[in-house]
Chain A
Amino acid sequence: MDASLTRSATAGIVARAQDLFEDLSFNAAREWKAAKPGRKVVGYMPIYVPREIIHAADMLPLGVVGGGDQLEVIHGDAYYQSYICRIPRSTIELGVSGRLDFVDGMLFPSICDVIRNLSGMWKMMFPDVYSRYFDVPQNYRDEIGGNYYVNELAELRHDLGELRGKPITDDELRHSIAVYNENRKLVRELYAFRAERPWQAPAPEVYLVLRAGLVLPVEEHSAMLRDYLAAARAEERPMRDNCRIVLTGAFCEQPPLNLIKSLELAGCYVVDDDLLLVTRWLTADVPTDGDPLRNLATSFLHQSESTAAKYEPDQKEKGQHLVRAVKKSGAEGVIFAAPSFCDPALLDRPMLQHVLKDAGIPFIAFKYAENSGQMQPIREQAGTFADSIKLWSGA
């Protein structure tokens, strides 16, 4: 394949993803909705909701992950004290400024007390929108947490069926599970490719392509992933003398894109991360035969990502997901990057750091906000970390 053509293919996909990322009016989703009468859009916040059920109701699941650094928060600050993280205030801003006025429902997953309370605020502020706090079990036994979760899923299925005006069938659900299995497979492939050749799939590009999946129909996003993988594989890019790191703690409020770029510029290839976990929350295919809700529940209980918003019942397992991520991706260190005032990430951090210390894995930590503008300190810290790994890792 002609190299210049390939380059333009990669650049074209990334440019499209970047446009979607920068569009705070969610025009792609608006166009999707307007294309056929009766279409509905259901928004969801990080970190996980069963998008399969929304899809099975012929609705568009729309990821709402705050306003980023391009959104000027004017009204949202009036709703939150200074010591509360930024994602709820920019999400409120998106709501009160009419940017989400086409959204028919909002799901608030179980992440933390701030998002939990935001679910109640949404009910008060947007009473005509279907909104639901989507609780998940912290008990992982099939007959306890599993049964509870199946019933919660059934309630969501019922509600969305009502919103659509027609119940969601098992076959519709099975089809949606298959469609999302395909998407997750491609995301896993993308992550594996980046871990193998991070210079071929730079972290800011991977992030943008992944993020596009929050606003596009899943079928379209899978096509984008396929195209990006093909283009990125075909394009030869120079390998830098960077170290390889796992980025963790960024599972909810997203860091500015510049922060991700800064890490690479400072000499760190991101070879694994916990950004946009919803795109790969379930770590293996969900079976498409049998009871679809039971299958989703079983996958949630036994094959899902570990993160600070989940209880870890086994002390010996605590933090091991990070050690495994380091080993699997061939990383040389871990960067903890958590949003300011993020209780789950910041309370988890000391425990994870103890595990890394015991495993002999170097780490650094800093905080950010989605609108952090000053990257120099982060670049310096990450640069020093990269240098120390390069200088001392063999010692």
Chain B
Amino acid sequence: MSRVIVTPKAAAKEVLKDASMQKQKDMMAGHYDRLTSAPETGAKVASTFVPGNLNELIMCFDLVNNLPEVNAIQSGLRRQSGGYVLEAEKIGHSEDVCTYVKSDVGMMAKGNIAPNGKKFPNPDVLLLSYTGCFTFMKWFELLREQYKCETIMLHTPYMGDGKITPNMVEYMVKQLKEEVIPKLEQVSGVKFDIDRLRENLKKSVTAEEDLVWVLQSAKNKPSPIDAYFGGIYYIGPIFGAFRGTDDAIEYYKFLREEVAERIAEGKGPVTPDGDMGKEKYRLVVEGPPNYTNFRQFWKMFYDEGAVVVASSYTKVGGVYDLGFRHNPDKPLETLAEYCLGVYTNRSLPMRIDMLSNYINEYEADGLLINSIKSCNSFSAGQLLMMREVEKRTGKPAAFVESDLVDPRYFSAANIKNRLESYLQMIEQKRAGSKAA
């Protein structure tokens, strides 16, 4: 009988986190504990999406918010999504469709285990706040088939003409008044109190102000933050289960102080390997990141001295840096306008304007697109966006491809090659402009 020799694996290098990251991690862990203990505590659970999530409203009904996209991201970061995606394909899902959906469906098929190792509770209600992505609609139909629970549809019209019209707002407010709120009352058994909503919205505004300050701190040179890889940590609380809470206010205040300190010390962003070295390239990034190889992907950037100073992905849960703030004086209208304004609900010309402006405002060297195989909402049209941004800003743009949470579509060598070539292109452009 042959012996199997198992070589002990080297211990994983410790990931360095700054204090705000640790705080955020603790908040998320607390949230998952709240969720998974729902059967014991009797808390009711609302599943909903990140873009257009109505956390302030959900909290008015004492519902705990569960976000299937975030669960898929967690599965990706923990290298579990690959197996879940395969499981979903085994039970009939196409290889062509969104891997968030398949990771979620596969996770359900494999016991629905949360990142804390406990079972996710079944949702009491699916709040289909359908903003900027058709896949959401099908995703919640698939979840409804599984859980057979109440599903509430909040339809957000698309900003195809680049504007929010009174008809759109009126439609959404009517849905909130006549569909969403009555059904949430019914599911939760809690009567709606508009003053409670106003209070939550007020809290949102405070956190939103600090978030914007943090995101705009990247205008400094060197940038004290990475607004894409680091940015994903920064948006976690406000795009997820914490907007409208004291926790979020505290987190963003704390984060702001931490970033202010970095600016004062002339420091760049914190990376998993510690403080980033010299800032050599300032990039704007469009599209979601890859989560199965997140650290490896990030490392490709900071190893080269490339920092992301602005990104579109950190606007999927709200475009606060363009001025939107929740308005407690118009509580339902503001929820409608929030949903309408998230990044993926913006027309392609609006997205191009935004990216071009970022390049100018943040004095970036160019645009990098991470095109996601299974996300048409982001990806369809990105090649035109790239050309148009180049034309408008005179800065080079480049393109890499990967996937959200399907490890089969992450080719490290390919991405690294492309990124290095792109950075060389920036160097040439700089040399060219110096010579001129």
Contacts and interface: CB of A to CB of B under 8 A. Distances in A.
Interface of A: 78-81, 83-84, 88, 108, 110-114, 116-121, 123-125, 132-133, 135, 137-139, 141, 143-145, 147-148, 151-152, 155, 308-309, 311-313, 315, 318, 338, 340-344, 346-351, 353-354, 367
Nearest to B178: A144
Nearest to B388: A124
B101 interface: yes
A350 B171 contact: no
A88 B376 CA distance: 12
Interface stretch (B7-15, B41-49, B140-148): B140-148
A118 B158 CA distance: 13
Contact of B94 (A120, A151, A308, A349): A349
Interface of B: 91-94, 96-98, 101, 128, 130, 133-135, 137-139, 141-142, 144-145, 148, 151, 153, 155, 157-158, 160-161, 165, 167-168, 170-171, 174-175, 178-179, 347-352, 371, 373-374, 376-377, 379-384, 388, 401
B404 to A, nearest CB: 13
CB-based closest 5 A-B pairs: A120-B348, A133-B160, A347-B138, A148-B171, A117-B381
Given A119-B347, A132-B161, A347-B94, 5 more contacts: A116-B377, A120-B351, A147-B174, A148-B157, A311-B128
Contacts of A318: 141, 145
Contacts of A120: 160, 347-351, 381
A353 B92 contact: yes
Given A120-B347, A120-B349, A124-B349, A83 B174 contact: no
B93 A84 contact: no
Contacts of B352: 124
21 contacts: A79-B384, A80-B383, A81-B383, A84-B379, A84-B380, A113-B133, A113-B134, A117-B376, A117-B381, A120-B160, A133-B347, A139-B179, A141-B178, A144-B179, A148-B157, A148-B168, A155-B167, A311-B130, A347-B98, A348-B138, A351-B142
A84 B381 CA distance: 10
B169 to A, nearest CB: 10
A139 B155 contact: yes
Contact of B161 (A133, A312, A346, A347): A133
Nearest to B344: A113
B100 to A, nearest CB: 11
B1 to A, nearest CB: 44
Most chain A CB within 10 A, of B134, B139, B347, B382, is at B134
B155 A137 contact: yes
B92 A350 contact: yes
Contacts of A155: 165, 167
B381 A152 contact: no
B348 A117 contact: yes
Nearest to B371: A81
A83 B138 contact: no
Given A144-B174, A343-B135, A351-B141, A138 B158 contact: no
Most chain A CB within 10 A, of B101, B128, B349, is at B349
A311 B158 contact: no
A143 B376 contact: no
Please report whether the interface of chain A is mostly helix, strand, loop or mixed according to DSSP. Answer: helix
Nearest to B91: A350
A349 B92 contact: yes
B160 A108 contact: yes
Given A123-B347, A311-B137, A354-B145, A135 B94 contact: no
Given A139-B155, A350-B142, A148 B167 contact: yes
A386 B153 CA distance: 40
Given A139-B153, A353-B92, A118 B380 contact: yes
A79 B386 CA distance: 10
A76 B92 CA distance: 31
A351 B377 CA distance: 22
A341 B95 CA distance: 9
B134 A340 contact: no
Contacts of B98: 343, 347
B51 to A, nearest CB: 12
Contacts of B135: 113, 343, 347
A112 B160 CA distance: 13
Nearest to A340: B96
Nearest to A134: B160
A80 B383 CA distance: 7
Contacts of A312: 141
B167 A151 contact: yes
Contact of A114 (B347, B373, B374, B380): B380
Contact of B153 (A309, A313, A351): A313
B376 A311 contact: no
A353 B92 CA distance: 9
Contacts of B139: 347
Nearest to B145: A351
Contacts of A309: 134
Contacts of A349: 92, 94
A207 B46 CA distance: 45
Contacts of A344: 134, 138
Nearest to B102: A347
